[in-house]
């Protein structure tokens, strides 16, 4: 809803996304612009496994008014939304998806930038006019990764009153000022003094489970498997260890 997006613009991650974001060690997160650049009014759909490519999609809306600045500031005889601003609308929507996914960084040292050497293509099939009532932004994630900065590549469609008017191919963005390691550490240690719980295991614990002492992975009760005749099933060792961390495990041990 609009209230959650306003919370996001104000840096209130809990108000925007919920309790999972409460203990993050971020005082002034980089989010999305407000003011005249308030280009996204509502998020109507978010699916982390949806879209054309199965790795995420998001749909957003904005209301259009005849006196909107981007219409009145265009040529006097051609009051339409500029194509560059259409791209920006879709980019802001993509950023909301990435923020919800956990790509959070402090505004003082981070910036959203295009991915170098990735060429985007924008095709306009229609216009946003003073008579337009509502625009819709539809984003389909194509690629997510780290270089080591987190980056995303997506395709986008934009609609004016349900009519398709813009198609964007290979829209790209990267979050400078952070990387995968920093993001992982931020989420693993979300508050001062926060310690790993029995149902969360970091990379060192996973490595100990595969090739070290089970007690170093799961705690003292598993010392019975460290040496002697008792054994425990193991994970494959590197380079066949395709697991970095365990975020949650249910159930009681030794039951």
Q: Which residues are catalytic?
A: 74
Q: Which of 6, 64, 47 is nearest to 139 (CA)?
A: 47
What does residue 58 show for φ and ψ, rounded to 5 degrees? -150, 145
DSSP class of residue 190 equals -
Q: Distance between CA 168 and CA 158 in Å, rounded? A: 9
Q: Distance between CA 149 and CA 250 in Å, rounded? A: 32
What does residue 200 show for φ and ψ, rounded to 5 degrees? -140, 130
Where do runs of H (alpha helix) occur along the chain?
2-9, 13-17, 69-72, 83-101, 180-188, 203-211, 214-218
Contact of 135 with 116, CB cutoff 8 Å: no
- Name all contacts of 12-18 with Cβ < 8 Å and 24+ positions apart: 13/99, 13/104, 16/99, 17/99, 17/100
**Residue environment code for 77-99, b if the CB has 16+ CB neighbours within 10 A, otherwise e:** eebbbeeeebbbbbbbbbbbbbb
Peptide bond just before 248 cis, omega within 30 deg:
no
């Amino acid at each position: 809803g609009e209230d959650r997006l306003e919370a996001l613009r104000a840096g209130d991650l809990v108000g925007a996304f919920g309790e999972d974001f409460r203990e993050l060690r971020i005082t002034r997160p980089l989010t999305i612009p407000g003011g005249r650049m308030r280009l996204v009014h509502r998020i109507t759909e978010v699916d982390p496994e949806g879209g054309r490519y199965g790795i995420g999609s998001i749909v957003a809306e904005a209301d259009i008014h005849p006196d909107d600045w981007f219409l009145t500031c265009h040529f006097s005889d051609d009051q339409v939304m500029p194509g560059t601003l259409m791209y920006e609308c879709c980019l802001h929507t993509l950023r909301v998806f990435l923020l919800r996914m956990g790509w959070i960084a402090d505004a003082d040292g981070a910036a959203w930038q295009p991915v170098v050497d990735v060429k985007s293509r924008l095709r306009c099939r229609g216009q946003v006019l003073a008579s337009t009532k509502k625009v819709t932004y539809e984003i389909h994630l194509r690629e997510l990764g780290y270089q080591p900065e987190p980056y995303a590549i997506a395709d986008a469609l934009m609609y004016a009153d349900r009519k398709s008017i813009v198609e964007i191919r290979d829209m790209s963005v990267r979050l400078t000022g952070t990387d995968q390691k920093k993001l992982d550490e931020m989420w693993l240690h979300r508050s001062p003094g926060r310690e790993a719980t029995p149902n969360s295991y970091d990379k060192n614990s996973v490595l100990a489970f595969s090739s070290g002492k089970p007690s170093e992975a799961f705690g003292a009760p598993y010392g019975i498997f460290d040496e002697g005749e008792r054994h425990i099933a193991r994970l494959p060792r590197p380079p066949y260890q395709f697991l970095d961390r365990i975020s949650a495990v249910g159930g009681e041990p030794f039951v």
